[in-house]
Amino acid sequence: MPRHSGRAADQLRPIRITRSFTRHAEGSVLIAYGDTQVLCTASVEERGPAWKKDGGWVTAEYGMLPRATHTRGRREAAQGKQSGRTQEIQRLIGRSLRAVVDLSALAGYTITVDCDVLQADGGTRTASITGAYVALVDAVAAMRRKNQIKTNPIHGQVAAVSVGIHAGSPVLDLDYAEDSGCECDMNVVMNEAGHFIEVQGTAEGHAFRRDELNQLLDYAAKGIGELLAAQREALAG
Amino acid sequence: MPRHSGRAADQLRPIRITRSFTRHAEGSVLIAYGDTQVLCTASVEERGPAWKKDGGWVTAEYGMLPRATHTRGRREAAQGKQSGRTQEIQRLIGRSLRAVVDLSALAGYTITVDCDVLQADGGTRTASITGAYVALVDAVAAMRRKNQIKTNPIHGQVAAVSVGIHAGSPVLDLDYAEDSGCECDMNVVMNEAGHFIEVQGTAEGHAFRRDELNQLLDYAAKGIGELLAAQREALAG
Amino acid sequence: MPRHSGRAADQLRPIRITRSFTRHAEGSVLIAYGDTQVLCTASVEERGPAWKKDGGWVTAEYGMLPRATHTRGRREAAQGKQSGRTQEIQRLIGRSLRAVVDLSALAGYTITVDCDVLQADGGTRTASITGAYVALVDAVAAMRRKNQIKTNPIHGQVAAVSVGIHAGSPVLDLDYAEDSGCECDMNVVMNEAGHFIEVQGTAEGHAFRRDELNQLLDYAAKGIGELLAAQREALAG
Amino acid sequence: MPRHSGRAADQLRPIRITRSFTRHAEGSVLIAYGDTQVLCTASVEERGPAWKKDGGWVTAEYGMLPRATHTRGRREAAQGKQSGRTQEIQRLIGRSLRAVVDLSALAGYTITVDCDVLQADGGTRTASITGAYVALVDAVAAMRRKNQIKTNPIHGQVAAVSVGIHAGSPVLDLDYAEDSGCECDMNVVMNEAGHFIEVQGTAEGHAFRRDELNQLLDYAAKGIGELLAAQREALAG
Amino acid sequence: MPRHSGRAADQLRPIRITRSFTRHAEGSVLIAYGDTQVLCTASVEERGPAWKKDGGWVTAEYGMLPRATHTRGRREAAQGKQSGRTQEIQRLIGRSLRAVVDLSALAGYTITVDCDVLQADGGTRTASITGAYVALVDAVAAMRRKNQIKTNPIHGQVAAVSVGIHAGSPVLDLDYAEDSGCECDMNVVMNEAGHFIEVQGTAEGHAFRRDELNQLLDYAAKGIGELLAAQREALAG
Amino acid sequence: MPRHSGRAADQLRPIRITRSFTRHAEGSVLIAYGDTQVLCTASVEERGPAWKKDGGWVTAEYGMLPRATHTRGRREAAQGKQSGRTQEIQRLIGRSLRAVVDLSALAGYTITVDCDVLQADGGTRTASITGAYVALVDAVAAMRRKNQIKTNPIHGQVAAVSVGIHAGSPVLDLDYAEDSGCECDMNVVMNEAGHFIEVQGTAEGHAFRRDELNQLLDYAAKGIGELLAAQREALAG
């Protein structure tokens, strides 16, 4: 059964990475996975983490503009708290970035990457990770230009994509329509060596078999390979 | 004393109004007053206000992405509340829009205009009002296409600009550098007849004289005339 | 059309200012604009503002007893937050007071003026400002008696009044009945030189013309002149 | 050892009860136990309790103006929550009032008594109860004048006082200085038959013996007898 | 009229005190008053109280598992605040423990006793106090083994029980069925000398007479004597 | 390298499942994975979910007693919010249970499973899921005895375990010491057919290879098989 978008089962949506999207942040990246658009800004602050004596810190916050989605969601600031989903996502982004950073080389600094979804069409958390990495690289480059740090704390590359089983078949990079009708989906975060940083699979409709899991991981590995290439191309530009 | 931007005392920054900036909202406008960029989305919901038996409602919410500014501000959703400043601004935007809307013609509907600042360089509240009006017009047009309402509830046009006294001289449309060093500033909201909807003047440095007030209002009237024209041009496009 | 109270269009309600209303505060003033009664206490604390290295600070908080009004309002402490209106008012009072204070002369001290409305009949925010000024003067006098400060940090006098257009005519110092039926109203804060510290006009019914604005400002200037005199008389008492 | 005020061990401070202190509330009473002053307003609302099918409800809320005390306390509305102490006190006031009210005769109505401390000098919770009773009587009288209820729901009279052991001796109606240096104190609420509605004794310094308890209860009974008389006199006025 | 459980009017439910119920806490006690079961853990932390220069601190927190009760209650953590009842109880437990502790001998340390109700059948606050004391003793013993303190800060013994008037007769140690149908109840906290630390009596149905109060206190004294013995036996075990 | 506990790499800790641990809940299970002890209670309420027209709902809440852990954690109810970790875990438990429930057969009812950790030694979330399933089965049986539902809504069996790479080797069911020093860990939820309901792997130290992932999944499948057997045995008991 073909995908409604005409994409092949293992085909990403068009990926666009725009650096320096806004002026003030040390790193500012607009990333698009098709109609999903996330603004990722990396901010450098001269303060270490309060709860740790040594080293620096990299953290992330995630938000969605109220009308990024098909129907308006309530503004979390007005509700007075972040949803469990929001917190889960920003913890995931933070862990994924820290997996490729040597925090001791950032001693005395905190980098906060804000991922704000301007338009949502599925895959906002994986697009956030992929875009946040590019913003982080730009922020670290700015720190080195200012001699704030001596060595490059980034020792790897990280990108993410979703995979899932839709209408009985594994597919790569689900959009909102596919995601809503999906029996199970998995968010996969990998590094440039093809190793796993995070694997989060959830069966909403029916449980998935070991062979399905394997197929999904194959698709994810292929997609992430292309996303890592897109990051490198954007950073070279 | 010339302005650091080279603008004349009564000259606006370049104004850009981009409609249909995102896909989902009934009205979606990116407005720029120079480097200040605000995304204004108008969302139509089929519910009247809970606290009023008859008629519809138009309201606004305002937010600033954490790194829209020179240094990162804390995310209000993470802090668990909106600041007094945020609430003051969103109340101002809502009142300004309602001043040109016949709420009884919107019976059964609420339109929420979200004004989210992507990049800040002074004047975010006035840019929000001017952009929100255009998003509101687009949302109302969408309602009429769907036959949700029979008559046009919008009976006027509204735009806003800031004026202030900088380095001893009145100036129009202050950017961040001017605003920070401003002795007093005033936000003015007017309609297409040149009448006042809101006048909010605050003397931070020294109090202003009646003749200074008059000069500021003259500048505001000139600037708002141009902004109303920019709105009409965008809506005609 | 005569006012329901029989007042002339440019006539204030009876103004009463009672100093030393309660015992503990360094300044404690009960101010009445007719049936509106606000208790303003100024408290001196030996701590500078956390967010500023030098100088002292003057700030204000505002509250309304739940049954100060015609029908009981919810207690903000029980609701767990201050309304946007409350925050807007207390920010206004604080700014108005700081406009006549040299903060550097208060170094190491914070003065908090609490304005609590015991009974409301329109104009609570303007009565608060006028009363808060008197409480502030008393608190500063107490500081000087204790040799906490060497010079008088207060370099001006400030008072406030509301004006509005009711039943088509401009009127001074609106009571609750007039305020509820008002097409537009304006809160004006001025100093003893007759210069403006704050001008906040809002058109709720219809927008106001430039000539109406001018008339309202004339009425405000007259009323504030009388309020400044009442403050001086109370302080001389 | 004589009391610092010169009062006898079993002597109340001067009690003043002023009815109709503010205009809007159905019952509005300013009560003073010496320098402790509490404004008690009783508000009638036409709504039964949400959590109970039948009958009406009587409840209380308690607050202290920030500078009612010797040093300024933080405003609970600004802190975003009521302290445990505040909640404990308002629950006590509500229970004490309900002990003399037939709730079924109030069906369809809720009476909320707000007790706001304008000036504190010890005994604010007991003064609140004594004053709240008078405000409640006035509110019920107003309801009967409007024919909202047919029978008098109040079937008893209630008043309260504190007692404690200070400098080794039992004393009645402690002021702030006595309360601060008190080894143990007890708040006692009684009705007109001399029966107990609440007894809350707390040993802060050392535990109290059974004979001390008996002496304290004797003093409380004497003081409450006088307070009940003062209520009757005020209501007759 | 006999009690539904067959107990005599002055008979406690079966009391069980299990020490070392969990592994990590310095003191961990499961206490049962019949079907009421509370887990009391005492935790030693090397930090003095923030608001006091000298000495240590002993405090308590109280919670109830959502389904400790007949019908599920809402989880306070999910609601975002502790109820007034919870705060009242944990303040009571803390005061009761501090009444037998010399805080200066705990200088530099805070002991927090958490009382979490696993199953509720009336009397949870009094069981908490009795169990918390045993946990506190164990925690202090652990501190002495580690040479954190030199002298024993505990100078007394404390236990608590409820008494009330049920079906017209005084009874000791009410279970949930008795408590629900109780006209008045009283929580009594006493030390090993038979002196009172807290007495909290509340008349929900009708006020109680002085002779009833005396009878209730006699029953409480008897019950607390047995509880103190049970504590000693457990600590000796 | 042997495990500090002496367990084989693919060996579970001793598993104990105690049903009817407390009295009130429809299902009440204490589950132990070694020293990790979680009380799981399932509560049936006669209300459907507010946000869904048809069918019933199964949800979970998770909490940890403050001193379940080595050092005391802050009580979430006192902090006024649940941590991101808590919300993430309770969402996981809820999804896992719903994966084996036909919600339409529960129409009109909500079952809430509370998982409260009494003692923590690693693996609290997986123990919660395994215990919650047993509590859910008991609650559903209670519903059927009361004829609240006609058919059994539970169509599968679910259990969970953690796996991870410790000191370079894959191990099953990590305790706290292993978990703290773990390079990567994975929580796996499976049904009785051996299919995956959730897979959540996180590399904290270094990313894991595909072959490591496969080995971890093999261990998880073995452990979950034994846990499913333990559940069946407990339910048969």
Q: What is the pLDDT along chain A (237 residues), one digit of tens a residue?
A: 789 999 999 999 999 999 999 999 999 999 999 999 999 999 999 998 888 878 999 999 999 999 999 999 999 999 988 999 999 999 999 999 999 999 999 999 999 999 999 999 999 999 999 999 999 999 999 999 999 999 999 999 999 999 999 988 999 999 999 998 888 899 999 999 999 999 999 997 779 999 999 999 999 999 999 999 999 999 998
Q: What are phi and psi of A38, to 5 degrees?
A: -125, 130
Is F46 in a helix, a strand, or coil? coil
Q: Is D124 annotated as a binding residue?
A: yes
C-alpha span between D77 and C77 (Å, rounded): 4
For chain E, the average pLDDT equals 95
User: Which strand ranges, in their side-by-side order, compose the sheet holding B36-45?
Assistant: B15-19, B27-33, B36-45, B110-119, B57-64
Averaged pLDDT, E79-95 = 94
Query: C19 pLDDT band (50/70/90 cuts)?
Result: very high
Residue D1 has pLDDT above 90, yes or no: no
Residues A164, F188, E79: CA angle, nearest 5 degrees: 90
Contacts of E122 in chain F (CB under 8 A): none
Query: C50 pLDDT band (50/70/90 cuts)?
Result: confident
Task: Give the pLDDT of residue A53.
Answer: 79
Interface size, chain A vs chain B, as Cβ–Cβ contacts under 8 Å: 100
Residue of D nearest to C110 (CA): D72
For chain C, the average pLDDT equals 95
Averaged pLDDT, B39-58 = 92
Task: Give the pLDDT of residue F53.
Answer: 79
| pLDDT tens figures, E174-210 | 999 999 888 889 999 999 999 999 999 999 777 999 9
How many CB atoms lie under 10 A from the CB of residue C150?
9
Task: Quote the percentage of chain D above a pLDDT of 90.
Answer: 89
Q: Where are the domains of chain A?
A: 15-236
Does the distance separating the beta carbons of F194 and A199 come in below 8 Å?
Answer: no
Averaged pLDDT, C70-88 = 93
Give just the sign of the alpha carbon dihedral C19, C23, C28, C30: negative
Taking Cα atoms as reference points, which of B147, B131, B157 lies closest to residue B46? B147
3-state secondary structure chain C: CCCCCCCCCCCCCCEEEEECCCCCCCEEEEEEECCEEEEEEEEEECCCCCCCCCCCEEEEEEEECCCCCCCCCCCHHHHCCCCHHHHHHHHHHHHHHHCCECHHHHCCCEEEEEEEEEECCCCHHHHHHHHHHHHHHHHHHHHHHCCCCCCCCECCCEEEEEEEEECCEEEECCCHHHHHCEEEEEEEEEECCCCEEEEEEEECCCCECHHHHHHHHHHHHHHHHHHHHHHHHHHHC
Taking Cα atoms as reference points, which of E22, E195, B119 lies closest to residue F119? E22
Averaged pLDDT, D75-104 = 94
Give just the sign of the alpha carbon dihedral D155, D156, D157, D161: negative
Q: Are the C-beta atoms of residues F105 and F149 closer than 8 Å to each other?
A: yes
C-alpha span between F90 and F103 (Å, rounded): 18
Does the distance separating the beta carbons of F45 and E35 come in below 8 Å?
Answer: no
Task: Quote the percentage of chain B above a pLDDT of 90.
Answer: 89
Residue C30 has pLDDT above 90, yes or no: yes
C-alpha span between E126 and E173 (Å, rounded): 9
C-alpha span between D99 and D159 (Å, rounded): 11
Contacts of E61 in chain F (CB under 8 A): 66, 75, 78
Task: Give the pLDDT of residue F54.
Answer: 86
C89, C92, C129, C195, best to mutate vs chain B, most B CBs in 10 Å: C195
What are the C-alpha distances in Å from D224 to residues C85, D36, D101, D187?
43, 17, 19, 11
Task: Give the pLDDT of residue B206.
Answer: 79
> What DSSP line would sit under B33-60, residue for residue?
ETTEEEEEEEEEES---TT-SSS-EEEE
**Residue A149, token pair as written in the block:** 């740090």
Contacts of F139 in chain E (CB under 8 A): none
Q: Which of E87, E190, E207 lies at the smallest CB-CB distance from D191?
A: E207
Annotated binding-site positions of C for phosphate: 85, 123-125
Task: Give the pLDDT of residue C206.
Answer: 79
Interface of F with A (CB under 8 A): 81, 84-85, 87-88, 90-91, 95, 99, 156, 186, 190-191, 193-204, 206-210, 213, 217
3-state secondary structure B63-95: EECCCCCCCCCCCHHHHCCCCHHHHHHHHHHHH
Task: Give the pLDDT of residue A112.
Answer: 98
Task: Give the pLDDT of residue B1.
Answer: 75
Task: Give the pLDDT of residue A205.
Answer: 73
Residue D48 has pLDDT above 90, yes or no: no
Residue of E nearest to F119 (CA): E22
Distance from CA of F77 to the nearest CA of E (A): 4
Averaged pLDDT, B36-53 = 92
Superfamily of domain D15-236: GHMP Kinase, N-terminal domain (3.30.230.70)
Is F185 in a helix, a strand, or coil? strand
- List chains touching D (3+ CB pairs under 8 A): C, E
Taking Cα atoms as reference points, which of D88, D86, D96, D171 lies closest to residue D120? D86
Task: Give the pLDDT of residue C182.
Answer: 81
Residue D50 has pLDDT above 90, yes or no: no
C23, C70, C72, C176, best to mutate vs chain D, most D CBs in 10 Å: C72
Annotated binding-site positions of F for phosphate: 85, 123-125
Averaged pLDDT, D35-50 = 95
Does the distance separating the beta carbons of E43 and F72 come in below 8 Å?
Answer: yes
Q: Are the C-beta atoms of residues B78 and A82 closer than 8 Å to each other?
A: yes
Taking Cα atoms as reference points, which of D197, D190, D199, D175 lies closest to residue D228? D190
Task: Give the pLDDT of residue F177.
Answer: 94
Annotated binding-site positions of B for phosphate: 85, 123-125
How many CB atoms lie under 10 A from the CB of residue E105?
17
Residue E80 has pLDDT above 90, yes or no: no
Task: Give the pLDDT of residue F112.
Answer: 98
**Residue B93 Ramachandran class (φ > 0 left, ψ -120 to 50 alpha, else beta):** alpha
Interface size, chain D vs chain E, as Cβ–Cβ contacts under 8 Å: 92
Does the distance separating the beta carbons of B35 and A67 come in below 8 Å?
Answer: no
Distance from CA of A33 to the nearest CA of B (A): 14
| pLDDT tens figures, B51-64 | 887 899 999 999 99
Task: Give the pLDDT of residue B229.
Answer: 98
Contacts of F65 in chain E (CB under 8 A): 39, 41, 63, 114, 116
Task: Give the pLDDT of residue B50.
Answer: 82
C-alpha span between D213 and D203 (Å, rounded): 11
Q: What are phi and psi of E9, to 5 degrees?
A: -60, -35
ipTM of the complex: 0.94
> What DSSP line would sit under D103-156, residue for residue?
GGGGTT-EEEEEEEEEE-SS-HHHHHHHHHHHHHHHHHHHHHHTTS-SS--B-S
Query: D206 pLDDT band (50/70/90 cuts)?
Result: confident
Taking Cα atoms as reference points, which of D116, D107, D123, D158 lies closest to residue D28? D116
C98, C196, C210, best to mutate vs chain B, most B CBs in 10 Å: C196
Task: Give the pLDDT of residue D54.
Answer: 86
What are the C-alpha distances in Å from D24 to residues A124, C68, D40, D133?
54, 7, 12, 18
pTM for the full predicted model: 0.92
| pLDDT tens figures, B71-91 | 999 999 999 889 999 999 999
Does the distance separating the beta carbons of D202 and E198 come in below 8 Å?
Answer: yes
> Which residues, listed in sequence order, are joined to residue B189 by a DSSP beta bridge?
B160, B198
What string of pLDDT tens digits covers the 237 residues of chain F? 789 999 999 999 999 999 999 999 999 999 999 999 999 999 999 998 888 878 999 999 999 999 999 999 999 999 988 999 999 999 999 999 999 999 999 999 999 999 999 999 999 999 999 999 999 999 999 999 999 999 999 999 999 999 999 988 999 999 999 998 888 899 999 999 999 999 999 997 779 999 999 999 999 999 999 999 999 999 998
